[in-house]
Amino acid sequence: KNEVEQSPQNLTAQEGEFITINCSYSVGISALHWLQQHPGGGIVSLFMLSSGKKKHGRLIATINIQEKHSSLHITASHPRDSAVYICAGHTGNQFYFGTGTSLTVIP
C-alpha cells in the first residue's frame, strides 16, 4: 500500500464544473505538495502547504493535518486544466508520491 493515496484515479468533467481531487497520507510529513504534470511530461509545482488553505487563481488547496488529508479544488474548470495531478508529502529529503489523478475537462 502506497504511503500516499489519491482519489479518484481518473476524472472526466465538463467545462465549468467544480472539481475536487483528494489525497490521504499515512506517514508523518512536514509539507504536502500538489503537482501538475502535462502530457509532455513536465511537472509544475502548484502548491506547497503545511497547514490550512492556499489559493491561486482558480485553484484551491487545503490540508487537514490531524486527519492526514488534503484536497485540491479547481473552480470553473477549463480544458487546459487537463493534466495529471500528483500529491506528494515530504519530510527532509524523503518524498512520498501518489500515483496521480488524470483529469480530462471536456469543452
Partner 1 sequence: ETGVTQTPRHLVMGMTNKKSLKCEQHLGHNAMYWYKQSAKKPLELMFVYSLEERVENNSVPSRFSPECPNSSHLFLHLHTLQPEDSALYLCASSLQGQGSYGYTFGSGTRLTVV
Binding site for partner 1 (CB under 8 A): 2, 4, 30-31, 33, 35, 40-45, 48, 86, 88, 90, 93-100
CB of 107 to partner 1, least distance (A): 26
- Per DSSP, the three-state class of 80 is helix
CB of 20 to partner 1, least distance (A): 21
d(CA 18, CA 106): 13
Q: How many helices (H) and strands (E) does the chain have?
A: 0, 11
CB of 45 to partner 1, least distance (A): 5
Residue 41 or residue 107: which is nearer to partner 1 going by CB?
41
Q: 102 vs 2, 7, 38, 55, CA distance in Å? A: 18, 10, 10, 21
Residue 7 or residue 94: which is nearer to partner 1 going by CB?
94
